[in-house]
């Protein structure tokens, strides 16, 4: 049986050009970028070349970028770094975030709360959008940071980040965005967005796992969260992952071209599934969504059962974010949209990527229709009134 991958928001395979780049630099770079000898300086040149290339893709200065181990570390560095500095200097720190952030943001905020900070978690509307007016109203004199993601990994909603950042900065707070699901798939310019900090990851856009970066606008100061040597201008200790940085820069500069056309495949999938399968409903913001993401509720069916059924037919999808699958509770993102628990448990996330084709999409539509028919046969449940009209 052939297998097809529709779970690119969990992770996307390394792009062929990026893989070559990674292999070449593993072979070429033997030195430590902190060493002053020939080998060290060769590694340093590679690292700084990667930093310049990444800065070119993001419209920022290379000195504004710190390489990290991925999106999770970048989120932690932004939130704990800014929050701990405020606590250390003023004894107070108030952070504003949204209810549908990735656990890397929410749990970093909770950790900061344990250390003495105060937290405001903003609600979202029914499609997952944060209101700039809510950010304005949440700001206080001691608000040091607002952290709202660029796009949601489960439902794909793209937040009005430029407006949210403006609201935060006008109120005197720094603005951080987790852009792990957007950077490298679509052009993102840090200056145009008007943000202060931005988390970037490698493995959602054709880069390797275990590497990422944090954009820190010139003039923004934070406390390091890893302590050791003086790497990354004292902002992140640890011997630099030079091949990872080179591959990250390659993935992000070449990524957006590879992701062109994915929206057409995603729309084909949605049209097919919604037309073929009764009792289905699309989640997320239809007017502002990641081009590859489709989150669909299937009335009366368990999302996990759908994932298993589709896997048995050769299609890899997800019932929520990969990081929370295995957990019994339904997704915090879907609950925050106002969904009841049963509906939230019925949702499946399809996330497409550069390897997908029209034929695969058509096969997936058939597999979804077959799976739903099978699951409704073995465990029949009447369509709820809400879905009967969907």
Ligand X SMILES: Cc1ncc(COP(=O)(O)O)c(C=O)c1O
State the Cα–Cα distance between residues 315 and 367, nearest whole angstrom: 8
Q: Which stretch binds ligand X (CB under 6 A): 71-79, 184-192, 356-364, 367-375?
A: 71-79
Count other C-beta atoms under 10 Å from residue 170's C-beta.
Answer: 11
Residues 93 and 112 sit within 8 Å (Cβ to Cβ): yes
323 is catalytic: yes
Q: Is 320 in the site for ligand X (CB under 6 A)?
A: no
Question: Taking CA 109 as the corner, what is the angle to CA 147 and CA 210, rounded to the nearest 5 degrees?
Answer: 80
Q: Is 244 in the site for ligand X (CB under 6 A)?
A: no
Q: Nearest approach, Cβ of 70 to ligand X (angstroms)? A: 3
- Dihedral pair phi/psi, residue 16, rounded to 5°: -55, -45
Residues of span 175-214 touching ligand X by CB under 6 A:
178, 180-181, 201, 203, 212
Q: Which stretch binds ligand X (CB under 6 A): 31-39, 64-72, 292-300, 304-312?
A: 64-72
Instruction: Identify the residue among 54, 55, 104, 337 touching ligand X (CB under 6 A).
Output: 104
Q: Nearest approach, Cβ of 266 to ligand X (angstroms)? A: 17
258 CB contacts (<8 Å, ≥6 apart)?
Answer: 15, 206, 354
Q: Nearest approach, Cβ of 149 to ligand X (angstroms)? A: 5
Q: Is 15 in the site for ligand X (CB under 6 A)?
A: no
Q: Kindly tell me which of 171 and 212 has the beta carbon lying closer to ligand X.
A: 212
Q: Is 72 in the site for ligand X (CB under 6 A)?
A: yes
- Dihedral pair phi/psi, residue 215, rounded to 5°: -80, 125
Q: Nearest approach, Cβ of 250 to ligand X (angstroms)? A: 17
- Token output for 237: 């200790």
SS3 letters for 166-183? HHHHHCCCEEEEECCCCE
State the Cα–Cα distance between residues 247 and 112, nearest whole angstrom: 32
Q: Among the options 109, 205, 323, 347, which is catalytic?
A: 323
Q: Nearest approach, Cβ of 175 to ligand X (angstroms)? A: 16
Q: Nearest approach, Cβ of 167 to ligand X (angstroms)? A: 21
Q: Is 149 in the site for ligand X (CB under 6 A)?
A: yes
Instruction: Identify the residue among 15, 70, 106, 320 touching ligand X (CB under 6 A).
Output: 70
# residues contacting ligand X (CB under 6 A): 15
Q: Kindly tell me which of 216 and 368 has the beta carbon lying closer to ligand X.
A: 216
Q: Is 102 in the site for ligand X (CB under 6 A)?
A: yes
Q: Is 71 in the site for ligand X (CB under 6 A)?
A: yes
Question: Taking CA 372 as the corner, what is the angle to CA 309 and CA 347, rounded to the nearest 5 degrees?
Answer: 80
Q: Is 319 in the site for ligand X (CB under 6 A)?
A: no
State the Cα–Cα distance between residues 33 and 52, nearest whole angstrom: 16
Task: For the chain, list the strands marked E by DSSP.
Answer: 4-5, 65-68, 94-98, 118-122, 143-147, 174-178, 197-201, 212-216, 280-283, 293-298, 315-316, 347-351
Q: Is 323 in the site for ligand X (CB under 6 A)?
A: yes
For CA atoms 269, 185, 245, 221, give the dihedral sign: negative
Q: Nearest approach, Cβ of 204 to ligand X (angstroms)? A: 6
Q: Kindly tell me which of 201 and 300 has the beta carbon lying closer to ligand X.
A: 201
State the Cα–Cα distance between residues 119 and 281, nearest whole angstrom: 33
30 CB contacts (<8 Å, ≥6 apart)?
Answer: 39, 43
Q: Is 76 in the site for ligand X (CB under 6 A)?
A: no
* Coil, helix or strand at residue 83: helix
Q: Which stretch binds ligand X (CB under 6 A): 19-27, 69-77, 115-123, 190-198?
A: 69-77
Q: Kindly tell me which of 321 and 343 has the beta carbon lying closer to ligand X.
A: 321
Q: Is 360 in the site for ligand X (CB under 6 A)?
A: no
Rule CB under 6 A: which residues touch ligand X? 70-72, 75, 102, 104, 149, 153, 178, 180-181, 201, 203, 212, 323
Residues with a catalytic annotation lie at 323
């Amino acid at each position: 049986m052939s297998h097809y991958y529709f779970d690119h928001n969990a992770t996307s395979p390394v792009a062929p050009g990026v893989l070559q780049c990674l292999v070449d630099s593993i072979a070429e770079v033997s030195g430590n970028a902190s060493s002053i000898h020939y080998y060290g300086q060769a590694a340093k040149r590679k690292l700084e070349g990667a930093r310049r290339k990444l800065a070119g893709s993001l419209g920022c200065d290379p000195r504004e970028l710190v390489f990290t181990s991925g999106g999770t570390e970048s989120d932690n560095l932004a939130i704990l770094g800014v929050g701990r500095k405020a606590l250390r200097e003023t004894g107070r720190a108030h952070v504003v975030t949204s209810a549908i952030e990735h656990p890397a943001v929410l749990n970093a905020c909770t950790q900061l709360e344990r250390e003495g900070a105060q937290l405001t978690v903003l609600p979202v509307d029914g499609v997952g959008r944060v209101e700039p007016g809510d950010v304005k109203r949440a700001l206080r004199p001691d608000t040091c940071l607002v952290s709202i993601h660029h796009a949601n990994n489960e439902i794909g909603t793209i937040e009005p980040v430029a407006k949210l950042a403006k609201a935060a900065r006008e109120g005197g707070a720094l603005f951080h965005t987790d852009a792990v699901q957007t950077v490298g798939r679509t052009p993102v310019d840090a200056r145009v967005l008007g943000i202060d900090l931005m988390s970037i990851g490698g493995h959602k856009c054709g880069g390797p796992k275990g590497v990422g970066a944090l954009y820190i606008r010139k003039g923004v100061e934070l406390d390091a969260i890893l302590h050791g040597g003086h790497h990354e201008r004292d902002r992140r200790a640890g011997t630099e992952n030079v091949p990872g940085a080179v591959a990250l820069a390659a993935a992000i500069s070449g990524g957006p071209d590879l992701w062109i056309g994915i929206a057409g495949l995603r729309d084909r999938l949605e049209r097919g599934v919604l037309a073929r399968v009764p009792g289905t409903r699309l989640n997320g913001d239809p007017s502002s969504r990641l081009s590859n993401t489709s989150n669909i509720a299937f009335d009366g069916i368990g999302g996990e059962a759908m994932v298993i059924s589709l896997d048995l037919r050769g299609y890899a999808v997800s019932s929520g974010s990969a990081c929370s699958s295995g957990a019994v509770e339904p997704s915090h993102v879907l609950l925050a949209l106002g969904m009841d628990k049963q509906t939230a448990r019925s949702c499946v996330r399809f996330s497409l990527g550069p390897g997908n084709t029209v034929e695969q999409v058509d096969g997936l539509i058939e597999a979804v229709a077959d799976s739903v028919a099978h699951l409704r046969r073995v465990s029949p449940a009447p369509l709820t009134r809400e879905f009967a009209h969907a």
